[in-house]
Amino acid sequence: MTWKHPSSPVTKKFKVQRSAAKVMTIVFWDAKGVILLDILQQGQFINVVLYCSTLDRLRDAIRRKKPGLLRMGFVLQHDTATPDSANLTQQWLQRYSWEILPHSAQNPDLVPSDLFGPLKCHLGGMAFETEGDLVGESKNWFAHLDLDFFRVGIYSLLSCWKKMHRSWGLR
């Protein structure tokens, strides 16, 4: 409540718009592009069961799109989030012999490329009627990324990895 003098001008009320809904996206990619793009339903969050089922879908996508990759060996980099480091996830990774690159919690820069910054920039200012429209535009953006984006991002991981090892005193 605001106290005003009777002759004060009437306060204008601004039209309040609903804020944009947040959509959680999980993306796995390599030097040649996106392998799996998974967009969660509104209000859904990543837990260990969802993460392991996503890894199952990733494994199926690799088997379909890049079958030689599974035979050559697969190295996954993820951070230290709870679903990534949970016992169930670790058992899944051991069952399929997937190697994990260690991730230093003190080194958040060990990310192959920033997909989400440019995506947010691309989507900024756009209005979508439905969540499906947002998802469609996001998938379209990923599909039209230049392959050099992925190649440079993945190969830059090598230099980040070397810096991290040096900071740990390793060679």
* Helix 87-95 / helix 48-65 crossing angle, nearest 10 deg: 20
In this structure, is the dihedral angle defined by the CA atoms of residues 118, 121, 122 and 128, taken in order, positive or negative? positive
- Token match 């494994």: residue? 59
| pTM of the shown model | 0.72
pLDDT tens across 113-130, in order?
Answer: 577 788 889 988 888 888
User: With pLDDT > 70 as the criterion, what percentage of the chain qualifies?
Assistant: 77
- Residue 39, classed as helix, strand or coil, is strand
Contacts of 105 (CB under 8 A, 6+ apart): 79, 80
Among 19-28, 60-69, 107-116, name the most confident range: 60-69
- Residue 82, classed as helix, strand or coil, is helix
Contact 62, 74 (CB under 8 A): yes
Across the range 43-51, mean pLDDT stands at: 87
Contact 25, 38 (CB under 8 A): yes
Task: Determine the Cα–Cα distance for residues 78 and 85; give it in Å rounded to an integer.
Answer: 9
Among the listed ranges 11-20, 30-39, 125-134, which one has the minimum average pLDDT value? Answer: 11-20
Across the range 144-168, mean pLDDT stands at: 79
The model's confidence at residue 154, banded by pLDDT at 50, 70 and 90, is: confident
> Is pLDDT of 158 > 90?
no
The model's confidence at residue 7, banded by pLDDT at 50, 70 and 90, is: confident
Helical (H) or strand (E) element with 83: helix 82-85
In this structure, is the dihedral angle defined by the CA atoms of residues 63, 159, 92 and 33, taken in order, positive or negative? negative
Task: Determine the Cα–Cα distance for residues 65 and 33; give it in Å rounded to an integer.
Answer: 11
Domain 25-124+143-167: assigned CATH number: 3.30.420.10
Q: What is the average pLDDT value for the chain, to the nearest integer?
A: 79
User: Can you give the pLDDT at residue 27?
Assistant: 86
User: Can you give the pLDDT at residue 88?
Assistant: 92
